Amino acid sequence: MLSDREREIAALAAAGLRSREIAQRLFLSPRTVEAHLGRVYRRLGVSSRSELPRIIGNQGGNGAP
């Protein structure tokens, strides 16, 4: 299961925002965004950002595997 912040970041990444854009929007460092995305990838079993829209869409955005 993803945390609220991980779900938020995953949804923004799935929408096509880059880490820097996500960081600016959420008042985080780009490095923090990358760390969250790394955990998202592991928990969802994906290897790239391009897979997120399919996974997020299939789960209704709730991030539950």
Tell me, rounded to whole angstroms, the distance of Cα 14 from its chain centroid.
Answer: 7
Around 63, how many Cα atoms within 13 Å sit in the side-chain half-sphere?
Answer: 19
Residue 62: its pLDDT value, please? 47
pLDDT band at 63 (very low <50, low <70, confident <90, very high): very low
Question: Architecture of domain 4-58 in CATH?
Answer: Orthogonal Bundle (1.10)
What is the percentage of the chain residues whose pLDDT exceeds 90?
A: 77
38-63 burial, b at 16+ Cβ within 10 Å, e below that, comes to: eebbebbebeebeebeebbeeeeeeb
pLDDT digits (tens, 9 = 90+) for 18-39: 999 999 999 999 999 999 999 9
Q: Is the pLDDT of residue 57 over 80?
A: no
Residue 11: its pLDDT value, please? 95
- Are 65 and 44 within 8 A, CB to CB? yes
